[in-house]
């Protein structure tokens, strides 16, 4: 387990190369360019770019994605880390393909958010904060999503599903399983 390093031959090759940098297709690069063009300071585009990178890198900021962001925005990787960990929608760990985000705040709660979460847990076999084994589903409880008038509700990816009932939840899960439903990631 212990490694031998000498000052003359410092590091094993792979450790020395910085984490590989993600590469994106031209249409994604164009999208990134469009965002960068909005701001006089590149760093301003950090959040829009993080969403793009996480969409393209399987739902979260993996090390090559982080390296890409740092390079593209001209900041250190630790700057990416400090921002990414501040915002709850930026994932630094993998999440499931369908991310059920159930609002748990007051209006939804008093109108039955607890039952919705319970139903999801029952049907998906995961508790809030977990991802199922094959990575299809993640379940989260999130704070108020501005749908209090149509409570209870949840978001799958970016898509809103409102006035939920347990039956509707069952239906949604079926549609996810059959691949009929968009995962709302864009």
Binding site for another protein (CB under 8 A): 1-8, 10-11, 15-16, 38-48, 50-51, 63, 66, 73, 76-83, 85-90, 104-107, 109-115, 142-151, 155, 158-160, 186
- 24 by DSSP, 3-state: which? coil
Name the residue nearer to another protein (CB basis): 133 or 143: 143
**Helix or strand holding residue 130 (H, E):** strand 130-131
Q: Torsions phi, psi of 62, nearest 5? A: -80, 165
Place of tokens 């709850």: 88
Smallest separation (angstroms) from another protein to the CB of 30: 15
Give the C-alpha separation, 129 to 41, whole Å: 35
Name the residue nearer to another protein (CB basis): 11 or 23: 11
Instruction: Give Cα 12 to chain centroid, integer Å.
Output: 33
Q: Are 102 and 138 in contact (CB under 8 A)?
A: no
Smallest separation (angstroms) from another protein to the CB of 50: 7
**Helix or strand holding residue 141 (H, E):** strand 137-142
Smallest separation (angstroms) from another protein to the CB of 134: 26
User: Going by C-beta distance under 8 Å and a sequence separation of 6 or more, which residues neighbour residue 38?
Assistant: 44, 45
Name the residue nearer to another protein (CB basis): 87 or 94: 87
Name the residue nearer to another protein (CB basis): 132 or 162: 162
Smallest separation (angstroms) from another protein to the CB of 98: 16
Name the residue nearer to another protein (CB basis): 65 or 96: 65
Smallest separation (angstroms) from another protein to the CB of 5: 4
Q: Are 84 and 61 in contact (CB under 8 A)?
A: yes
């Amino acid at each position: 387990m212990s490694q031998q390093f000498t000052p003359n031959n410092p590091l094993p090759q792979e450790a020395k190369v910085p984490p590989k940098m993600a590469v994106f297709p031209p249409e994604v690069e164009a999208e990134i360019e469009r965002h960068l063009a909005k701001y006089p300071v590149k760093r301003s585009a950090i959040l829009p770019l993080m969403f793009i990178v996480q969409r393209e890198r399987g739902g979260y900021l993996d090390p090559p994605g982080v390296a890409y962001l740092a390079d593209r925005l001209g900041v250190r990787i630790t700057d990416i880390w400090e921002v990414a960990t501040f915002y709850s929608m930026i994932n630094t760990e993998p999440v499931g393909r369908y991310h059920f985000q159930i609002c748990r705040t007051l209006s939804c709660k008093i109108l039955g958010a607890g039952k919705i979460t319970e139903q999801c847990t029952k049907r998906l076999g995961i508790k809030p904060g977990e991802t199922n084994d094959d990575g299809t589903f993640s379940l989260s409880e999130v704070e108020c999503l501005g749908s209090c008038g149509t409570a209870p509700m949840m978001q799958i990816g970016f898509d809103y599903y409102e006035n939920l009932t347990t039956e509707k939840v069952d239906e949604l899960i079926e549609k996810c399983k059959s691949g009929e439903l968009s995962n709302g990631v864009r």
